[in-house]
Every structure is written in C-alpha cells, then in structure tokens.
C-alpha cells in the first residue's frame, strides 16, 4: 500500500505579532509529530495572554512566576511527597468548565503517568499541596511541587490531547524537556540559524539529573525536529541516527516510565 504524503503547514504568531509559518514539511500519514509540536502551536498563538506580567514561560511551556522569588526545581528537588504505602499521591482539582468528554481525556493523560509507576492522581479533599487544572490560555505547568495550589493550564479544545496532557503532568512531577540535558550535544545537533531569534533561549541546556538513564529521543518530553523553525528547516537533528523520530505524540516512552520510577524511588516496578 502506498503511503499517503501530506503537506503540513502550521501558522502561528511570533512574539512581535507577525504571522509566521512554524514549519513546512512533508509527512507520512502515520507521522503525527511530538506532543510538544502541538503545545508550541497553541502557546505561540496565545502568547500575549499567557505572558501577562505575572507569569512567563520557559522552554515554551514551563511557567515561572515573575512576582516572587522562585525555587529552581530540577529532578531531585521539589518532589511530591511519598506516602508510607510507597505511592506518590498527587491531589488535583478539576475545573467544572470541562465537559465529560474533556474530563475523560484529562484522566487518560493521568493514566499514562500512572501505568507502571507509583504515581497516583487523586481528587483533592483536604490536601494542602495540589494541582489545579484550569482552562487558562495555552498549555503549561509549573515545574515540580511548589507547595499549596499550583495551576496546570489545559485550554480547551487545543490542549486536550492525551499526549499534551501527559507532557504537562510530567512537568508538574519535576521533569524538564529531554533536549535540555547537559549532555544533549552528544546526541543531537541544535541548528541555531533555523530557530526564531526570539526563541533561542528555549534551547538552553541545564544541569539536570539524568537519573543514570540514556538519552531518550522518543521521550514525550522531547522537542520535535522542527520546533520553533523559522524557515521550515529542522532545528534539532539526531547525531549518528537515521530515520529516528523525535518525541512522542500520545504515550510515555519506556524510559519516561523509568525516569518517574527512579526519581520517586518506585522500588517495586
């Protein structure tokens, strides 16, 4: 059977309001991109509403408050508490604005995290620390546990895709994007001339804990190959790897599961 080839053109607005083509590329029918591809499209379109003076986004979808001093949370810092029974229970409040169908999609995103890990999402009753899932502008989350109520924004309908939802919950657990690893230049080449000039900072490296796990091209936390492309050319190219896909569209990779289990010491998985 011959593959159906699709020409995909995605239009978004740059920071200065100019209409730009995010990427122009030929894709096979079964190539649905990375979760972060969808997040970028949504957040760039709604950028003026997201960056409202109280919050800014780092790396495209990690919220940072501007009005108070922030803890910098990487890997083993800012973890959610572990119960005596070995599970990590993350309490959540869900906006009543979501329909039943949308609520079920959000719960499927939670199930992606829960499967084969010790993390469990539970409706909030009395818990002090919890995530508040709201229909703000764009798709974004704070990094790790901040203490008290913290927002996860899943705007309807654009952010209500299972992979996007899981991606934002991974941020809430404390994980940054895979290509932010300090050792990433051993595995990928960042094509700096192809990136929007006002989005270069989204490709910075950070001294994160790799949790003794290999670089994961297929992580749901990896940018897609054309992230923030200003000319339709790749912005991230794998080294010594041919025909490899960057990122995941819907599911966590095997290594994503291992990351959660290593970080939260899920001993029986």
**Count of the separate structural domains present in the chain:** 1
Please report the pLDDT score of residue 163 as a whole number.
97
Please report the pLDDT score of residue 10 as a whole number.
45
Q: Is 126 annotated as a binding residue?
A: no
- Tell me if 248 is assigned to some domain: no
Among 38, 102, 168, 178, the active-site one is: 168
Q: Is 26 annotated as a binding residue?
A: no
Please report the pLDDT score of residue 33 as a whole number.
84
- Tell me if 253 is assigned to some domain: no
Tokens (6 digits) for 232: 């339709």
Q: Is 46 annotated as a binding residue?
A: no
- Tell me if 241 is assigned to some domain: no
Q: What is the rounded distance in angstroms from the CA atom of residue 155 to the CA atom of residue 38?
A: 12
| Residue ranges making up the domain that contains 82 | 35-176
Please report the pLDDT score of residue 267 as a whole number.
80
E strand residue ranges, 109-239: 119-123, 130-134, 139-141, 149-154, 188-190, 236-238
Domain at 85, CATH number: 3.40.390.10
- Tell me if 4 is assigned to some domain: no
Q: Considering the entire predicted model, what is its pTM? A: 0.86
- Tell me if 77 is assigned to some domain: yes
- Tell me if 97 is assigned to some domain: yes
pLDDT mean by block of 10 residues, the chain; 269 residues: 35 45 37 87 84 78 73 65 95 97 98 97 97 96 95 96 98 96 96 96 91 96 97 94 89 97 86
Please report the pLDDT score of residue 112 as a whole number.
96
- Tell me if 132 is assigned to some domain: yes
- Tell me if 125 is assigned to some domain: yes
Determine how many CB atoms are found less than 10 A away from the CB of residue 232: 14
Decide: residue 120, CB within 10 A, 0-12 exposed, 13-18 middle, 19+ buried.
Answer: middle
Please report the pLDDT score of residue 128 as a whole number.
96
Q: At what angle do helices 35-45 and 162-173 cross, to 10 degrees?
A: 90
56 CA to centre of own chain: 15
Residue 168 falls in the annotated catalytic set: yes
Please report the pLDDT score of residue 194 as a whole number.
98
């Amino acid at each position: 059977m011959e593959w159906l080839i699709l020409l995909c053109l995605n239009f978004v607005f740059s920071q200065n309001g100019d209409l730009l083509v995010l990427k122009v590329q030929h894709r096979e029918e079964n190539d649905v991109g990375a979760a972060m591809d969808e997040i970028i499209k949504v957040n760039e379109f709604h950028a003026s509403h997201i960056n409202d003076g109280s919050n800014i986004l780092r790396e495209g979808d990690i919220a940072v408050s501007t009005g108070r001093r922030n803890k910098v949370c990487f890997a083993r810092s800012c973890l959610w508490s572990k119960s005596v029974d070995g599970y990590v229970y993350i309490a959540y409040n869900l906006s009543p604005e979501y329909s039943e169908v949308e609520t079920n999609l959000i719960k499927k995103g939670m199930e992606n995290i829960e499967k084969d890990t010790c993390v469990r999402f539970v409706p909030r009753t009395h818990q002090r620390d919890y995530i508040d899932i709201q229909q703000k502008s764009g798709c974004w989350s704070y990094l790790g546990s901040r203490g008290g109520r913290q927002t996860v924004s899943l705007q309807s309908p654009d952010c209500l895709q299972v992979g996007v939802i899981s991606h934002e919950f991974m941020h809430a657990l404390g994980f940054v994007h895979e290509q932010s690893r300090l050792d990433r230049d051993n595995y990928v080449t960042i094509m700096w001339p192809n990136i929007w000039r006002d989005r270069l900072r989204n490709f910075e490296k950070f001294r994160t804990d790799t949790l003794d796990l290999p670089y994961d091209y297929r992580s749901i936390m990896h940018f897609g190959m054309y992230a923030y492309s200003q000319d339709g050319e790749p912005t991230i190219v794998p080294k010594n790897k041919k025909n490899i896909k960057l990122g995941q569209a819907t599911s966590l990779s095997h290594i994503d599961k291992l990351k959660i289990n290593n970080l939260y010491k899920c001993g029986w998985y």
